[in-house]
Amino acid sequence: MHRAKTEFYRMPALFVGCIAAAVLCRAVSFVTDIPLVDKIFAFNRDCIYIGLFFVWGITVNRRIMQVQARRLLNIVAGLCVFWMIVREFKFRFVLDVDVIRFLWYVYYIPLLLTPLLALLISVSLDRAEDYRLPKRLYALFIPTAALILLVLTNDLHQMAFRFPKTAAVWSESDYTYGWLYYAVTGWIYLSAVLSFIVMLTRLRSSKGKRRLWLPLLPFGIALVYGSLYAFRPEAISPFIGDLSVVFCLVFTGYFECCIQCGLIHSNVGYTDAFLASTGISAQICDADYRVVYRASSAEDISVSEMKRAESAPLITDDKKILHNLPVSGGHAVWTEDVSALLEMREMLEFRGEELREKNALLTMEYEKEAQHKKVEEQNRLYDLLQSKTQTQLNKVDLLVKAYQSAADDAEKRRILAQIVILGSYIKRRKNFVLTVDEGAVIPEAMLSSALSESMRSLGLLGIRGSFLVDCGAENQSGSLLMTAYDFFECVMEEALASSHYLNVRVCRVNGVLRESILLDSKADFSAVKREYPAVQICTEEDGTQLVYSLEGRDAP
């Protein structure tokens, strides 16, 4: 818990520390009268801010998991660094007033792009790692680019900043705002507010909800600063008198607070979870097998043993299996206690030898009894198979006779197709009987295979069919699946002459396994009703639907 709190406050503490150092440098440069000292401290202040935003971008690249959000945050960090560099050139290296004024206009490139990027970052949250923004969102860059272009060309139209006509030099010291300035300001605030609203809607962790107030801090600080800057500039000028720095700090502080409160999801906290793990003996090593992370219950393992386990798991002297799994930048090493398994194996080997001796004495008796059982089982299975498919066998006999007496080739093909349909059912039904006889539970795939073969056979008569089998589990009761196949066959035999399409669904509805058959036939299904009294038959203009519960109160 203490480490988690430390990790939570580490980044804000470093952030605030760098800002405090920069404020101190500005205060010294503001009050000192020593030559060059003020310039040195002012330069150091700018370097601190540039380094701060650069390092923040590096940490973002390591912490943020979502690819799209990480790239956009890196661009934000780059814009802040760009803004500070432009500011440094404006105040330190450029003397031409026209160039200085243009660099002032350049401020609005990051000032306009950063809130827009914040909105795009919000849309990217809680998405897959390979998520890409919809192309329609890129249309937001059109008004942003137009505003940037208008600000950069202000000297041509003065719609953003208006300079006195009598002024010999246009500078920041004497100007008024035009309508374009207010449009730029409105676009900036609109993008920022929309980004925060979208982030709130994508909040998903309870941890983040408890810290939801964090992103409001930069806005509050910016509001207080703006008020002081407008009404009491002399109170803050010795410490933070630069609007460009404040805006960069507000942007980065806002994004960092969103990361800390969970609005922007990061991969922090995994180290503590690994160290606090109990019941596992695992450790993470670098490429040279120096331990980087280690679970509380991890054992001391020599480097030589770790290397020997690279090719295959290694059994150590204390009856444990040592595993070595390559990971990015190193290895994951853990041990698995198999002493109980090894002892059990030794005991089983001893017992197995005793059983082999006893089995040798009983083999002859078992063989004789097995031969007798085999004959009895063959007779039983034959009788069982015969009883389940006798009706279809009788129909096949009648169809064979009809085939022999038929004179029309088309009629013969139709009769052969019917024989194939009945034969498919007989074959699959016998497979069901044999499989269910070995165990009460069978794979649901057997029903899918049976229906698939029957559908292919129906295609010989021009009947198109489809089916879906989803029982909710890989294995099901064999009797239920056999009943489903029998019900399907019973319906098809009644509708064979008048059907052209059917759909079969075997799935659970409200927890009950049901079979639904939809046909384009209006045949008489009274025989089906007699065989399956619980069946529900619904006849409409375009066909008939039969629904039968395979289990529950309506089941047979």
> pLDDT higher for 247 or 268?
247
Q: Which of these, 279, 283, 288, 290, lies nearest to 323 by C-alpha position? A: 283
308 compared with 5, residue with greater pLDDT? 308
Query: Residue 380 above 90 pLDDT?
Result: no
In this prediction, residue 152 carries a pLDDT of 92
**pLDDT at residue 553, rounded to an integer:** 43
Residues 6+ apart with CB under 8 A from 250: 218, 219, 221, 222
The whole-angstrom separation of Cα 359 and Cα 365 is 10
> What is the model's pLDDT at position 280?
67
Give the mean pLDDT of 367-396. 72
pLDDT confidence of residue 505: 92
First to last CA, the chain: 59
- Whole-model pTM over 0.85: no
Kindly give, in sequence order, each residue whose CB lies less than 8 Å from that of residue 155, ignoring residues fewer than 6 positions away.
Answer: 101, 170
Q: What is the average pLDDT value for the chain, to the nearest integer? A: 80
Which of 197-206, 219-228, 289-298 ranks highest by mean pLDDT? 289-298
Mean pLDDT of 2-23: 65
Of the listed ranges 389-403, 501-515, 520-534, the one predicted with least confidence: 389-403
Higher pLDDT, 285 or 39: 285
Q: Give residue 506's pLDDT band: very low, low, confident or very high (50, 70, 90).
A: very high
* Percent above pLDDT 70 for the chain: 83
Given this model, what pLDDT does residue 31 score?
66
Q: What is the DSSP string of 304-324?
A: HHHHHTTTS-EE-TTSEEEEE
pLDDT at 1 over 50: no
Write the pLDDT tens digit of every residue in 220-248: 777 777 666 655 555 555 555 567 777 88
Closest to 430 (Cα-Cα) out of 387, 475, 376, 477: 387
Percentage of residues of the chain with pLDDT beyond 90: 9
Please give the helix or strand (H or E) that residue 516 lies within, else none.
Answer: strand 512-519
Average pLDDT over residues 358-376: 75
Q: Is the dihedral of CA 249, 252, 257, 260 positive or negative?
A: negative
Q: Specify whether the CB–CB gap between 550 and 504 falls below 8 A.
A: no
pLDDT tens for each residue of 168-195 = 778 777 788 889 989 998 998 898 888 8
Ranking 75-84, 100-109, 137-146, 340-349 by mean pLDDT, the lowest is 340-349
Confidence band, pLDDT 50/70/90 cuts, at residue 2: very low
pLDDT at 373: 74
With cut-offs at 50, 70 and 90, classify the pLDDT of residue 548.
Answer: very high
* Maximum pairwise Cα distance, the chain: 124
What pLDDT is attached to residue 40? 78
Asked if pLDDT for residue 462 goes beyond 70, the answer is: yes
Looking at residue 90, the DSSP 8-state letter turns out to be I
Residue 303 has pLDDT above 70, yes or no: yes
More confident residue, 278 or 402: 402
Is the pLDDT higher at 489 or at 173?
Answer: 489
pLDDT of 508 above 70: yes
Mean per-residue pLDDT for 383-389?
70
Q: What is the pLDDT of residue 208?
A: 44
What is the SS3 assignment for 259-309? HHHCCCCECCCHHHHHHCCCCCEEEEEECCCCEEEECCCCCCCCHHHHHHC
The whole-number average pLDDT for the span 210-222 is: 70
pLDDT higher for 170 or 518?
518
pLDDT(154) > 60: yes
Question: Interhelix angle for 445-458 vs 409-438, to 10°?
Answer: 170
The secondary structure of residue 64, as a DSSP letter, is: B
- Which one-letter DSSP state was computed for residue 483? H
